[in-house]
């Protein structure tokens, strides 16, 4: 392998990617460029640039991809009815190919030989990043420090950060691993690993409990045009804004909580908690509308398509020829 001179790192500003940034520079003697995508994480990204540069990044890219995410990734999955194993609306799985596309584009622009991510060796995301990257650029080198380095715990990472003067905001450690975007929140680890216990109230991020939800019902009217949700209670919205509105309304009314024992693509089972108010509302409304508009055979066959589509997305095969072919069938049903 030729010497790596430039690396583009998928960067969140958290402990893992901050330590990875320094570790990559130290191990490869390379210039590290960070890339951060705004997908509606629910937290400000104002400090990301300063944090990355103070940690040693030569350049910092931050892109607002919320509109592209909703139109080009969420919307096709919604039209297809893609809900993994009947429950998970695929928020994280849909985000990964878009983030990877950004990494590859910046790598091309900067003439970087490699990209890097902060995914562990036990999760789905490592596969999603790497399969997508190779589909877009078969020649790119992919670095996965969490699978390679000698740091085996959070405590060791914190110690490394202090030894290398990496700026950190050390807060009380949450036992949960949380990933959030506009289409939903994924929550795992900590007390959730005991499948005999219900999720602790503090594990939820954006939804009220049924006990705290309003006693009076909230009525929501969603208008679709060719499979695209375009109006909410008669008022026209861009897709990003419509999803944001439904997340607020649904979350307040305890809609969108999902507790799932999930078959991961790497072959293990995992308990996952999801919050997806807008996704649950829109998938339900869209499916009920299709009951009215599709003939029996098309409706039943589309159920089969929905399952396969969800599996392809979950398994990181967004760029597969089969998924793209399924879009052709799905779009025909939405006219």
User: Domains of the chain: which residue ranges?
Assistant: 1-176+256-272+280-335
Q: What percent of the chain has pLDDT over 90?
A: 81
H or E stretch covering 38:
strand 31-38
pLDDT of residue 173: 61
Tell which residue, 154, 129, 174, 176, has the closest CA to residue 274.
176
Tell which residue, 320, 195, 207, has the closest CA to residue 257.
207
pLDDT (average), residues 236-246: 98
Q: Does the reported pTM lie above 0.85?
A: yes
Identify the residue whose tokens are 């997806």. 276
CA distances from 75 to 240, 285, 292 (A): 11, 14, 20
pLDDT of residue 233: 97
Question: SS3 for 35?
Answer: strand
| Rounded Cα gap, residues 221 and 231, in angstroms | 8
Class of CATH domain 1-176+256-272+280-335:
alpha beta
pLDDT (average), residues 102-126: 94
pLDDT of residue 172: 57
pLDDT of residue 320: 98
pLDDT in tens, 278-293: 999 999 999 999 999 9
Greater model confidence, 156 or 174: 156
pLDDT in tens, 61-113: 999 999 999 999 999 999 999 999 999 999 999 999 999 999 999 999 999 99
**What pLDDT band is residue 169 in, cutting at 50, 70 and 90?**
low
Residue 267 pLDDT > 60: yes
pLDDT (average), residues 134-159: 91
Residue 171 pLDDT > 70: no
Q: Would you please indicate which residues are annotated as catalytic (active-site) residues? A: 16, 96, 125, 177
CB 91 within 8 A of CB 185: yes
CB atoms within 10 A of CB 233: 12
Query: Across the strands, what pairs with 273?
Result: 187, 259
């Amino acid at each position: 392998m030729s010497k790596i001179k430039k690396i583009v790192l998928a960067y969140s500003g958290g402990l893992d990617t901050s330590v990875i940034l320094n570790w990559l520079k130290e191990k490869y003697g390379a210039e590290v460029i960070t890339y951060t995508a705004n997908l509606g994480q629910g937290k400000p990204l104002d400090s990301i640039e300063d944090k990355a540069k103070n940690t040693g990044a030569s350049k910092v890219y931050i892109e607002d991809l919320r509109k592209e995410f909703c139109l080009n990734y969420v919307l096709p999955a919604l039209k297809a009815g893609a809900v993994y194993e009947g429950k998970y609306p695929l928020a994280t799985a849909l985000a990964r190919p878009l983030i990877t596309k950004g990494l590859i584009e910046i790598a091309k622009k900067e003439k970087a030989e490699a990209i890097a991510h902060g995914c562990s060796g036990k999760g789905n995301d490592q596969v999603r990043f790497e399969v997508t990257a190779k589909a877009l650029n078969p020649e790119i080198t992919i670095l996965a420090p969490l699978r390679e380095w000698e740091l085996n715990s959070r405590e060791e990472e914190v110690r490394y950060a202090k030894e290398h003067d990496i700026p950190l905001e050390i807060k009380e450690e949450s036992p949960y691993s949380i990933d959030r975007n506009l289409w939903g929140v994924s929550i795992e680890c900590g007390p959730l690993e005991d499948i005999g216990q219900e999720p602790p109230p503090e594990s939820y991020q954006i939804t009220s409990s049924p006990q705290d939800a309003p006693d009076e019902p909230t009525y929501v009217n969603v208008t679709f045009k060719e499979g695209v949700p375009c109006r909410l209670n008669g008022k026209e919205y861009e897709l990003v804004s419509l999803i944001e509105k439904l997340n607020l309304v649904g979350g307040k009314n305890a809609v969108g909580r999902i507790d799932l024992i999930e078959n991961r693509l790497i072959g293990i089972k995992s308990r996952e908690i999801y919050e997806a108010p807008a996704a649950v509302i829109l998938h339900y409304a869209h499916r009920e509308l299709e009951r009215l508009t599709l003939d029996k055979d098309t409706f039943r066959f589309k159920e089969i398509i929905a399952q396969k589509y969800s599996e392809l997305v979950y398994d990181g095969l967004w760029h597969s020829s089969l998924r793209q072919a399924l879009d052709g069938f799905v779009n025909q049903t939405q006219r």
